[in-house]
Structure 1
Amino acid sequence: MLLAASPTQEAPPHTGGLLALIPGTAGLLTVAALGIVLLLVLIIKFRLQPFVALLAVSIAVGLGAGLSVTELFGTVQKSDAVSLIEDGMGGILGHVAIIIGLGTMLGSILEVSGGAEALSNRLLNLFGEKRAPLAMGLTGLIFGIPVFFDVGIFVLAPIVYAAAKRSGKSILLYAMPLLAGLSMTHAFLPPHPGPVAAAGLLKVDLGWVILMGVVCGIPAVLAAWAYSAWIGKRVFVPVPQDMVEATEDAKKAIRAEQEASGITRSEKPVALGTVFTIIGTPLFLILLATFSSIALGESTLRSVIEFFGHPFVALTIALFLAYWLLGIRRGWSRKSLETVSTASLKPIGNILLVVGAGGIFGAVLQGSGVAQALADTFSDAGLPVILLAWLISVVLRVAQGSATVAIVTTAGIVAPLLSAGDFSQAAVALVIMAISAGSIFASHVNDGGFWMVAKYFGISERDTLKSWTVLESVLSVAGFAVAALVSLFV
């Protein structure tokens, strides 16, 4: 149960660094505090790239806690020497990079093929004019599973413009439910970087992350939709005509570029069932594999299910389905599929480096004894692990703006609390939900997402704070509240 503090273990002793001046646990805690402060200063004040900042802080924390240069970097003479930096980076990226890469290509095929437009138009026709905000919310929720948050905004913004222009109502009434759906999936569900990175750092099966993501995310997004309806009726924001024109121009340029590369869209709209099949296949296979170990004993059937339900295999199957159903069958050449897939991988380099640096940070915290000292202190304070995880993530998010940095840093800090206790996979998955929920709290001016929302939907900074910032806080608090409640029974 996550509301109990973890048992403590004695931290491994190190000498040197700050410990030469401040002995024992106090020295390790001082190193941890100074490391977090240094990380925030480098990112906020000096605007250092988060990957570089995390790497620099990891090295500084390791040296400050008394680790030797050999322990941190290994040696040239001994190729098999243990290197915390290499092990930390490789350990997390070996798991995360493949999932994020496959998920990104899958989302790109759905985007370029027109799957998002088909999904939104079908839902708008199904729900009608009065329930258009709900249709926009469901569009964001479904399309947001395989597609990055910023891509979802770019692709779906014109549909929001059209719905708001047709009704004459505030664009907030349609944009906020859409953003809530996109943000929920981005924060709580694989294959998005945050939950995948946390699962890799805390060694949790993705099936449990998906299940708890749905359990915690659905009530959270319902609360956010309720707030969207409330704020949309009280703050009027007109459709930004300049952004309508700019987005149309951008889409025309992209289509021209695609046609030049041999990518042509079929005039026939994508079937809604096709979109659901492609998105749902990997989720179903991963969940089936996760729970086969509970329902089935050691058997050939279980081995087969676990093979197809491994995230690498499940996402590859979904990608091949997308290639066939949305590409080859609709007139794309194999060269077109390669072009779209390759182009989609370009933006994820920064994400993977930040996640890898988070793995380094966690490895240094563990190897130096700092993590255990933090675990001992937090356990003595009596705070529930799940609450502690959310609070740390919230503080890091509000201070420096990056959700990914908040997640990977928090996961490194709370990892020893979980490894020291007897926590099930389900319980650790709930801690990941708390961390992810904290990482989206109170998006404001230091977050790129804040400015993206304000720009695309023509909202003033003041109204963006009243709408988007509060919306993210509602998602965060509601998601954490559900995670904490469920943890009482896990």
Structure 2
Amino acid sequence: MDATALSPHIPLLNTEVSRAFELSTGPLMAVAVSSIVVLLILIIKFKLHAFFALVIISVLTALAAGIAVEEVVDVVVAGFGNTVGNVALLVGFGAVLGRLVEVSGGAQVLADKMLNTFGEKKAPLALGIASIFYAFPIFLDAGFIVMLPIIYTVARRLQGGFMIYVLPSIGAFLMMHALTPPHPGPTAAATVMGADVGLVLVVALLVGIPTWYLCGYRLGLLIAKQYPNMPVPSLLGEPDIRDESERPGLGTVLFCLLFPLLLIFYNTLFSTLEANGTVGADNAAFILSRLIGPTPIALLLATLVAMYLLYLKPRRGTRGLGDAIADLVDNALAPVCSIILITGAGGAFGAVLTETGIGQEIAEGLDGMGLPVILAGFLVAIAIRVAQGSATVAATVAGGIMAPAVAELDLGGLALAAIVVAIVAGAITFSHVNDSGFWLVGRFCGFDTVTTFKTWTVIGTAIGFMSFILSWGVYAIAV
């Protein structure tokens, strides 16, 4: 979902953006806050479609912040293109894979097995734990979309509304994406600060598991009580099963879901071996991992495998199978096109706010206030996150800003890993309208803008603050 970067400034264009005039920090903050308020008014009060509202406000904000008129469209288009480039393939392939799992009856098979094993009362907990495992190597947006048909099926079968089943899963994906390598934010922050990625993973899991239980699972159940009749969306279609014998086996469904994870792990393994010098850049297995291991290609291959195993193979001999699979793909992609456009527009708005430089100015001010280094890193990450939206960029830039101060302390491995986790915890907080994930998850869950704030934003912020508190505890012990 997020693009990684390794420098304090995140360039969106090949050249520095020209300015019609310069604003100081105070007026820039006023422009940023006003643009967000007006955007919410347009969407919530006047019911303007989020795609149009985001593009309009992006242009107006760029002009008000002093970006030269001739540069405004370039900045907006660059932000839109960067976001869509990262999201479209993941969401597209993930949506088709999710629909295959749903219409083939695979989601029903998994739901039945889960409920028989854990019981109906523990279904939200089981979905959350399954999401933690599935989120380990895979990006939040793609993994969540693939998990959705299982969540949909469980929610339709049981009582309590959609929220009670989806919020623990959202919390799991948020925690794993924000805190744990090999996700790009914590990996990039650890690299910039010279921390051991393995130790960062250990501290992230030590901090993240109890954080998810309290702020993802328990808080999710508490929030869900406010929405007891939340309907289950039907974005991924309904099961298309004429006879129970047509349902795929449990092993087949699990293989289709785990196949992309295996490819991603394969890529991560050989990338690590190549970085350590264990294998060379000309190693055939390493070269193959670079081709089939990136998340978009892993999802493409998994979708093709699922097409055959879940849909075509059980229906061999049926007339019109080619047309049926084409219609299935069309029906899977149709509802996500709007979501991709909204997500891209959210990226455009975040790009405009990034180019104003407001986040960088606030972050540098916090860095120079003489705060404890772990607290300063957390606050710097929050400032950049709020200003430009991307959790990955916030974690990476905050790591780059704090690296010199941290280096002067000559910290040991565990203490340094705790600081990295504290920084990435700040980068997940206060998600709002400039965050592409805000729109992506909200729309796939059928939430309106206000509901997305009350669920996604609240859970993400709670996870960020509790992770920070626990990581500070680890830091205090380590030093």
For the aligned pair, the TM-score class normalised by the smaller chain equals 0.5 to 0.7
Tell me by how many angstroms 1:104 deviates: 0.8
Change (3 A) 1:285 1:67: same
Alpha-carbon contact 1:266-1:331 (below 8 Å) kept: no
Offset from partner CA, 1:351-390 (integer Å, 9 cap, x none) = 2122212332233234344443343344446554445655
TM-score (normalizing by structure 1): 0.63
Change (3 A) 1:428 1:269: farther
Whether 1:319 and 2:303 are equivalent positions in the alignment is yes
Whether 1:276 and 2:267 are equivalent positions in the alignment is no
1:160 to 158, 161, 164: 158
Whichever residue aligns with residue 169 of structure 2, its letter is: L
Structure 1 match to 2:72: 72
Tell me by how many angstroms 1:105 deviates: 0.7
Change (3 A) 1:419 1:84: farther
1:328 to 287, 300, 312: 312
Alpha-carbon contact 2:93-2:303 (below 8 Å) kept: yes
> Which shows bigger deviation, 315-324 or 289-298?
289-298
Structure 1: how far apart are the matches of 2:173 and 2:426? 14
Whichever residue aligns with residue 156 of structure 1, its letter is: V
2:272 to 266, 276, 294: 294
Q: Percent same amino acid at aligned positions?
A: 26
Whether 1:351 and 2:342 are equivalent positions in the alignment is no
Structure 1: how far apart are the matches of 2:110 and 2:254? 9
Alpha-carbon contact 1:137-1:180 (below 8 Å) kept: no
Structure 1: how far apart are the matches of 2:7 and 2:97? 42
The count of corresponding residues between Structure 1 and Structure 2 is: 402
Structure 2 match to 1:222: 213
Structure 1: how far apart are the matches of 2:348 and 2:222? 42
Alpha-carbon contact 2:98-2:148 (below 8 Å) kept: no
1:146-295 matches, cutoff 5 A: 146-147=144-145, 154-161=152-159, 171=160, 178-184=165-171, 187=174, 215=205, 218-223=209-214, 227=218, 267-295=245-273
Structure 2: how far apart are the matches of 1:480 and 1:437? 8
Aligned to 1:267, the other structure's residue is in SS state helix
Tell me by how many angstroms 1:108 deviates: 0.7
Whichever residue aligns with residue 328 of structure 2, its letter is: V
Structure 2 match to 1:51: 51
1:339 to 307, 311, 327: 327
Whether 1:100 and 2:91 are equivalent positions in the alignment is yes
Structure 1: how far apart are the matches of 2:163 and 2:355? 44
Whichever residue aligns with residue 38 of structure 2, its letter is: L
Alpha-carbon contact 1:361-1:412 (below 8 Å) kept: no
Aligned to 1:47, the other structure's residue is in SS state coil
Offset from partner CA, 1:438-462 (integer Å, 9 cap, x none) = 449xxxxxx9799979xxxxxxxxx
1:437-456 matches, cutoff 5 A: 438-439=430-431
Alpha-carbon contact 1:149-1:183 (below 8 Å) kept: no
Alpha-carbon contact 1:7-1:421 (below 8 Å) kept: no
Whichever residue aligns with residue 313 of structure 1, its letter is: I
Offset from partner CA, 1:73-109 (integer Å, 9 cap, x none) = 3xxxxxxxxx212222212212211111111111110
Identify unmatched segments of 5+ residues in structure 2. 1-5, 135-142, 191-196, 405-415, 433-440
Structure 2: how far apart are the matches of 1:475 and 1:366? 21
Structure 2 match to 1:30: 30
Tell me by how many angstroms 1:420 deviates: 4.7
Structure 2 match to 1:372: 360
Change (3 A) 1:321 1:153: same
Alpha-carbon contact 2:164-2:221 (below 8 Å) kept: no
Change (3 A) 1:359 1:482: same
Aligned to 1:481, the other structure's residue is in SS state helix
> Which shows bigger deviation, 284-293 or 374-383?
374-383
Tell me by how many angstroms 1:290 deviates: 2.8
Alpha-carbon contact 1:224-1:471 (below 8 Å) kept: no
Aligned to 1:109, the other structure's residue is in SS state helix
Change (3 A) 1:305 1:427: farther
Tell me by how many angstroms 1:322 deviates: 0.9
Alpha-carbon contact 2:95-2:145 (below 8 Å) kept: yes
Structure 1: how far apart are the matches of 2:456 and 2:72? 42
Alpha-carbon contact 2:8-2:400 (below 8 Å) kept: no
Offset from partner CA, 1:266-295 (integer Å, 9 cap, x none) = 624432222222222212322332343222
Tell me by how many angstroms 1:425 deviates: 12
2:467 to 482, 485, 489: 482
Offset from partner CA, 1:157-211 (integer Å, 9 cap, x none) = 23214xxxxxxxxx48xx7763344323564568xxxx9xx969x9899xx9xx8
Whichever residue aligns with residue 102 of structure 2, its letter is: E
Alpha-carbon contact 1:99-1:311 (below 8 Å) kept: yes
Tell me by how many angstroms 1:112 deviates: 0.9
Identify unmatched segments of 5+ residues in structure 1. 1-5, 74-82, 162-170, 397-405, 441-446, 454-463
TM-score (normalizing by structure 2): 0.65
